[in-house]
């Protein structure tokens, strides 16, 4: 898929901040916004993947996004990076709350510490990143926050109760923030990926049988990849979606 297929002039030189932007879907988000001419900054904890992505983009475009190693469970550190980006690159226009971890877990073995840790990774950073970035957006006259939900909220998948709970909460967070921030011309939407086949999914959970089952549930009989998700994020960040807020956009191949 070529990102040149849709060009958004409104994203040129806009400051975009992405969580988990070094690998998987996040890496495609970083690539897509960078190729639009946006000024991209991203955080991740996977230094090897992030540095490899930077090298690739340097070779392809002659420029690189800014990478910060940051564990998003550390709210103070996350908000400090967002403040740094605002001061050095300019006010953030687009926040993409992408980072999450869908490790499997047995409901029988979850304790309070594990539950709280899952929320501290899959839900809490979204609010506090939005809190910090929205202040910059308001001062700049508007912006776009894109929270990543998950098709897992609609699916019956075992061993994911904590993750699915966090992702279900994202939908409520989006709608509430959309109402709070709308008067300031800050839009908030949820992007809902379907069963996106990433290297991590293939290594851990999805084999040929599982992939066949996924495509049987999709209206479109195709493998969904990160390159299918990034264009939707570009649209939600661009001026072309200036009247869209508090909504959910699914990229799921017509799941049903």
State the Cα–Cα distance between residues 62 and 143, nearest whole angstrom.
27
Which of 184, 139, 144 shows the shortest CA–CA distance to 38? 144
- Between CA 195 and CA 201 the distance in angstroms is 9
And the tokens for 6? 């849709």
Q: Quick one: which of 102, 42, 47 has its CA closest to 67?
A: 42
- 8, 67, 114, 163: the catalytic one is 163
- Residue whose entry in the numeric block shows the structure tokens 């959910």: 248
The Cα angle at residue 167 between residues 17 and 43, in degrees rounded to 5: 25
Pairwise CA distance, residues 168 & 147, whole Å: 12
Q: In what order do the strands lie in the sheet with 66-69?
A: 66-69, 39-44, 15-19, 92-97, 143-148, 186-193, 248-251
Are residues 34 and 11 in contact, defined by beta-carbon separation less than 8 angstroms? no
Rounded Cα distance, 2 and 175, in Å? 32
> Could you give the CA distance from residue 47 to residue 26 in angstroms, rounded to a whole number?
14
Respond yes or no: is residue 163 known to be catalytic.
yes
Kindly list the catalytic residues: 163
């Amino acid at each position: 898929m070529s990102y040149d297929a849709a060009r958004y002039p409104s994203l040129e030189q806009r400051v975009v901040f992405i969580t988990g932007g070094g690998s998987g879907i996040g890496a495609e988000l970083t690539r897509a916004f960078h190729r639009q001419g946006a000024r991209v900054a991203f955080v991740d904890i996977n230094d090897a993947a992030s540095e490899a992505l930077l090298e690739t983009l340097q070779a392809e475009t002659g420029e690189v996004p800014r990478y910060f190693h940051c564990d998003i469970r550390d709210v103070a550190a996350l908000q400090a990076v967002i403040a740094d980006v605002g001061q050095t690159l300019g006010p953030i226009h687009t926040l993409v709350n992408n980072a999450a971890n869908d490790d499997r877990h047995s409901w029988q073995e979850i304790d309070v510490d594990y539950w709280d840790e899952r929320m501290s990774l899959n839900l809490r950073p979204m609010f506090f990143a939005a809190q910090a970035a929205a202040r910059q957006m308001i001062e700049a006259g508007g912006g776009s926050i894109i929270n990543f939900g998950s098709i897992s909220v609609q699916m019956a998948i075992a061993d994911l109760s904590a993750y699915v709970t966090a992702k279900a909460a994202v939908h409520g967070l989006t709608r509430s923030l959309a109402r709070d921030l709308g008067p300031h011309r800050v839009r908030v939407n949820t992007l809902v990926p379907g069963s996106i086949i990433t290297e991590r999914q293939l290594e851990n959970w999805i084999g040929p049988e599982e992939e066949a089952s996924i495509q049987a549930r999709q209206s479109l009989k195709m493998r969904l990849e990160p390159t299918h998700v990034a264009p939707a994020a570009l649209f939600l960040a661009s001026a072309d979606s200036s009247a869209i807020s508090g909504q959910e956009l699914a990229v799921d191949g017509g799941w049903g």
